[in-house]
Chain A
């Protein structure tokens, strides 16, 4: 049984009730908890990313077929969804007291970078592919650690964030630390995640992936590493720009007419 790319893109959606329920619960919780719902659009965007990662064909590919698809999921869950979710919080939100120790720059940095390194240790990477519960734990942990990472720069109130220049350093070093892992994955002569070596072809996709798309094992891992290296760095870079905008924008930007000086 083989299918072409379009058939795959149409048919490979899953309706995982757990994921849908979690998404609905998040939305309901938001509506219930906050009276000021002007920023709900950000939450909907976050949920969109969340559903896309876990229900779309991307998930089917990551489920044993392609390391690079797994990496795309990883990046979206760690860096994109939590950031959007934090942006959805009303601007007067404060953390419950028991969570405050987590809002520490060192903890935040370590959770963002650690989540990347930890889940790519060969044993853990394989476990997450082989076992559904581990996969669920991975997903939840990525979202949680990503939230802790972004809290330092995207917290709702200025007082909860680190200073902009410290934020630049925070993001710069995080970017470097993740790039190093990306470099290792890209140029590693050995397979990092052995589970992807011999996929069980449950959906009959292997022909499509290997033949039509030309994705062999080396190329798959290379793309995975490069995704972590280049596009992820661009995400950090965008965040760094946001820090600069915040820094220079701290007072109203001077609007000046063109100054012309008489040469004395």
Chain B
């Protein structure tokens, strides 16, 4: 075993150089201008806390309204608004930000990195959260009140004829903004794990929290663009009078079911986007408090990948009640049951970790154990929803409400609370009070189970979900009352937690570096860590480097070779490839929508309006530009400034010609009276080619920046992979055009 510690060069955190250090640390700017991953992580969590209060108050209003039958506490429309805002807020503004906050704070520490790969992108992604939250809540002032279409915004209710106010537009814009932020964070996470690991931190030695969030980032990158594509289609429907999701009388209408497919193709992976980080936390906390390494590291790691893959193939189980046909129901029933296997494997791993361990039943562990039990219940009710016949009976009842709150609160929130208890000492340098922690734990357990266990029975007694009130039927009244009383306990638990945090910040016991005797690298530095995170790192030969340091006589078995070299691919190239991966998802949905609506000729204008010959000429220009940018890269490598600038300029000109050509085509179509709302062909055509054109324009901007930098001599001073990254993006834009050209222009000629 290599006994030398790794000493890091004294450095500074990645920070803007515009301000002096003193100015940057001034209290008015320190948090607003920060690009430090730790501060951004805390900002994420505080933002989530603010929205948690808002979403929590909404939940309390819902439970007050439902506490007694025929209640008139809330107007039905107000109830719908609060109900929509509760769901949207809790998912997009509480759960995702708080989990991203943890990842932001902990993940770079766990791999011994100084910061995230792209600190400024990190800050940008964070600030999109408040922006999205403000957009969403601004809708309250827009005249029609908050959106009242549910967090799922099913068409046609979300379409203009049924929701004519601006509120749904704000909802869609807010989610779009939040989606962009999430993709940005996910790209950053992947680039960080791929490119910034400390010496010795091979991919096989990653702590499970890091590994699982690494995998999770891929789900985010693949799933959020699907939602974003759906949202832009919804916005095009609402603002430009198209009808993607709006059925029309007679022929040529859109499909509300398509919205459901798009929404759940995002929505089901979203469940795992929230659950996987929680799985990661469980995989860290349970071993530490069982004083044993995790049982079956490999199985926990690989089953996460299985979950990531399967999560994209099961969305239609949210749609059994839509009537997709028996065949589709059957396949999705099977695939939905299969996803229980990797999840069950994990539960077994955590349980087996505890067996034979020396359990320390401190607050973080208590929350984990409760989460494990409640999650198992949630899994069992979940499996029952995988059976279409049973699902038809229970889907639209309170049974389903109980099921997903068992996942979202019983597992995810409980684990987040465990994480708060576990990592608070690292973030603040002070311990949370155990006594208050146990108070909030027991209040939470009682409150949660009181609120939601009984809802299973309410569902079986036939109470439908999404209703603002109910008649005084046998059993319904007292069960609802019990459920509402549970919310009181949960509120009390939250207040105790906030009190505990505030109190401990000032009076808490000093934590020291490693209060829990944990084994991962975040505990190898001071609490809170310095800006640059580490002054030195212990040697990393196994998955528990701090165990090896504490027990030199019986270290963990070395994973791989002792001095295994690590490969760290370039972060620019990595991030742009991941970005391209997410863009494929976005364009994939647009292309599928085009194919779906144009499989049969639409009444009105169709592909025959398009001029293949002219388009082919412009396309050749675009394809040629792939060649010129490649030459520019070659010139860069050879340090030929003039040639590089010339090739870049040629690329810009060729791209410009393509955009000009597309503009001409649009102009011709507009002149012959074809615009985006004419029929579904025109809608899908303009959406697909328009977004492609937008991406070409973005590429042109990037190219012009590169050109400017070249002329300023930037690339001569030091070689950079930036141009290669831009090149990748540009090739991707060309590749999308190959697909668009084939589908839109060439395919109709083959019929």
The interface-forming segment of A14-22, A59-67, A149-157, A186-194 is A186-194
Contact between chains at B298 and A223 (CB < 8 Å): no
The interface-forming segment of A70-78, A105-113, A132-140, A245-253 is A245-253
Q: Is B309 an interface residue (CB 8 A)?
A: yes
Contact between chains at A234 and B338 (CB < 8 Å): yes
Q: Is B638 an interface residue (CB 8 A)?
A: no
Contacts of A1 in B (CB 8 A): none
Q: Is the interface of B mostly helix, strand, loop or mixed?
A: helix
The contact string, 1 if C-beta is below 8 Å from chain A, for chain B 314-336, is 00000000000111100110110
Cα distance, A131 to B280, chains bound together (Å) = 55
Which of A180, A188, A226, A234 is in CB contact (< 8 Å) with B327?
A226
Number of interface residues of B (CB under 8 A): 43
Which of A176, A183, A248, A261 is in CB contact (< 8 Å) with B592?
A183
Cα distance, A184 to B588, chains bound together (Å) = 11
Cα distance, A222 to B332, chains bound together (Å) = 12
CB of A261 to closest CB in B, whole Å: 5
Q: Is B600 an interface residue (CB 8 A)?
A: yes
Contact between chains at B358 and A261 (CB < 8 Å): yes
Q: Is the interface of A mostly helix, strand, loop or mixed?
A: helix
Residue of A nearest to B591 (CB): A180
Given A230-B334, A254-B557; A260-B292 close (CB under 8 Å): yes
Contact between chains at A219 and B325 (CB < 8 Å): yes
The interface-forming segment of A40-48, A80-88, A236-244 is A236-244
Contact between chains at A240 and B356 (CB < 8 Å): no
Cα distance, A227 to B199, chains bound together (Å) = 45
Which of B291, B306, B557, B596 is in CB contact (< 8 Å) with A237?
B306
Residue of A nearest to B313 (CB): A233
Which of A229, A234, A253, A260 is in CB contact (< 8 Å) with B358?
A260
Q: Is A51 an interface residue (CB 8 A)?
A: no
Contacts of B298 in A (CB 8 A): 244, 248, 253
Which of B301, B326, B600 is in CB contact (< 8 Å) with A244?
B301
Number of interface residues of A (CB under 8 A): 43
The contact string, 1 if C-beta is below 8 Å from chain B, for chain A 157-195, is 000000001001000100110011001101111100000
The contact string, 1 if C-beta is below 8 Å from chain A, for chain B 163-203, is 00000000000000000000000000000000000000001
The contact string, 1 if C-beta is below 8 Å from chain A, for chain B 538-573, is 000000000000010010110111000000000000
Contacts of A179 in B (CB 8 A): 312-313
Contacts of A180 in B (CB 8 A): 588, 592
Contacts of A32 in B (CB 8 A): none
Q: Is B719 an interface residue (CB 8 A)?
A: no
Contact between chains at A172 and B292 (CB < 8 Å): no
Q: Is B360 an interface residue (CB 8 A)?
A: yes
Which of B305, B332, B557 is in CB contact (< 8 Å) with A168?
B305
Q: Is B616 an interface residue (CB 8 A)?
A: no
Q: Is B701 an interface residue (CB 8 A)?
A: no
Cα distance, A228 to B301, chains bound together (Å) = 27
Cα distance, A168 to B358, chains bound together (Å) = 36
Which of B338, B360, B592 is in CB contact (< 8 Å) with A263?
B360
The contact string, 1 if C-beta is below 8 Å from chain A, for chain B 324-365, is 011110011011001000000000000000001110100000
CB of B520 to closest CB in A, whole Å: 15
Q: Is B750 an interface residue (CB 8 A)?
A: yes
Residue of B nearest to A182 (CB): B313
Q: Is B249 an interface residue (CB 8 A)?
A: no
The contact string, 1 if C-beta is below 8 Å from chain A, for chain B 608-634, is 000000000000000000000000000
Contacts of B595 in A (CB 8 A): 184, 188
Residue of B nearest to A229 (CB): B313
5 contacting pairs across A/B (C-beta < 8 A) = A230-B335, A256-B557, A263-B291, A263-B358, A263-B517
Instruction: Report the 7 A-B pairs with minimum CB-CB distance, sorted nearest first.
Output: A254-B557, A244-B302, A226-B331, A248-B298, A190-B599, A222-B327, A261-B291
